Amino acid sequence: MIKQTTQQIAQTLNGKLIGNGEITIESISTDTRQAVLNGLFFALKGEKFDAHDYAQQAVEQGCIAVVVERELNLSVPQIIVEDTRLALGQLAKWLKAEINPKTVAMTGSSGKTTVKEMTAKILQKVTACDDEVLYTFGNLNNDLGVPMTLLRLTPQHKFAVVELGANHIGEIAYTAEITLPDACLVNNVAAAHLEGFGSLSGVAQAKGEIYRGLKQGGKAIVNLAHYYPQWQKEIGEHELQSFCYTGEDKDSYADFWAENVELHLNGSRFTLHSPQGEVQINLPYLGEHNVSNALAASALAMEVGADLDAIKMGLEQRSNVKGRLFPIEINPHLLLIDDSYNANVDSMKSAVSVLKNYPAFRIFAVGDMAELGDETTACHQEVADFVAKAELDLVVSFGKESAVISNNARHHFTDKNQMADFLLPIILQKIEEKQPLVLLAKGSRSQKMEELIRSLCHSFNVSF
């Protein structure tokens, strides 16, 4: 954040200032529970909350001014606007334009956080200074998270890597307009958040909105394996670049593609082809799908200045993120994989593909996939069919819809503690027999399958 006076911020927001206009703001806050220093509090409103009711708490936490939709009985300056949510985005858009870092953005049904992490690692090799690359923290990728990400910008930042998520039409169009990326992409399209989008075509429409936000002269990057012609309207006259990984000869028609892919238990090795040439990559991310994610990250990073050396160094430096194929080695015979952050049909299949390749006793602990609307039953059956073909050693399920995946009422649970109690003797027996065992837990965020991983780690006195 650039230091600004309350008067300057009021002008930027076209708001009415009540009180001292010379107060200097150093940070932004939307959470009354967090202490801030010289902060400006945005009193946001939602269907079930109104932060105007708690503005005094924000002042007590260190905020020295507030942005509100109505005048409050407070002792600090107030900037009154029509909509505090839109004002937050307006301030973020102003700050981003003022600092003007090279910016890339990504969205997609799955893998966007991994692409974000990979891209950030590459660009950190370009700058040789981690602090000069701003990137989305955690999963703050919605209409509030994206502005809060951009409001962390300082003059030190040379690059910004911004993840855009959505659960309804129009959300990405809004955040993309705030972000104004130099390059952006849709990583993939799959059956996810169907309740909000209505259909796979609706998902594609929502994700394609990201191209609408490209700045003049920006580059639209597409995944040829997930390209929808309807996106051309959003892309318009912007230059197009492509990446693709299907494992087939047609991949070579893309600008970024992978050859000689070798999958290993701790990652993969492949030749990355790009407009700058080719380079060997030893990728420390599990699964075939992460080869595609690496291509996506390479395309984004190269467009804003990365060369092949930076791409190689960045991709070969793993960024471990809990909930996304995060490995926890308990002992030489037991590996737990936390893939609990979220789930849709494609990401479920990718996780199973990773698990089935381990030369070990393979346990899949699966929770429900949420927000699938009328397609809920069909999607769970599709995963069940895929799991059956994988011929894993044991499948246990949790929730309401996933019983079809374990295909055995005895292996379906509505209590994760009971699931852990069932699994622990099996795990201990395999350890005693010195037989390697790998357990992968996955489900939608609402299922909190990381609780199973945490419980099992606790049984072995391992922190998680």
Annotated binding site for ATP: 108-114
How far, in Å, CA of 436 to CA of 459, rounded?
18
Cβ–Cβ < 8 Å for 153, 1:
yes
DSSP structural state of residue 195: H
State the Cα torsion 303-309-312-318 to the nearest 10°. -90
Cβ–Cβ < 8 Å for 212, 220:
no
Cβ-Cβ contacts under 8 Å for 39 (sequence gap 6 or more): 25, 26, 27, 28, 29, 58, 61, 62, 63, 64
How far, in Å, CA of 6 to CA of 272, rounded?
50
DSSP string over 142-154: STTHHHHHHTT--
* Of the candidates 412, 422, 429, 363, the residue with the CA atom closest to the CA atom of residue 392: 363
Segments in 128-248 forming alpha helices (H): 145-150, 171-179, 194-197, 200-208, 232-235
* Of the candidates 292, 280, 220, 283, the residue with the CA atom closest to the CA atom of residue 256: 292
Q: Which structure tokens are listed for 244?
A: 């693709």
Residues forming beta bridges with residue 135, ordered by sequence position: 161
3-state secondary structure (DSSP) of residue 362: strand
Cβ–Cβ < 8 Å for 415, 407:
no
CA angle 390, 393, 396 (to 5 degrees): 95
Q: Which structure tokens are listed for 29?
A: 């806050």
244 phi and psi, to 5 degrees?
-165, 135
Cβ–Cβ < 8 Å for 5, 24:
yes
3-state secondary structure (DSSP) of residue 194: helix
Cβ–Cβ < 8 Å for 295, 272:
yes
Annotated binding site: 108-114
How far, in Å, CA of 389 to CA of 280, rounded?
32
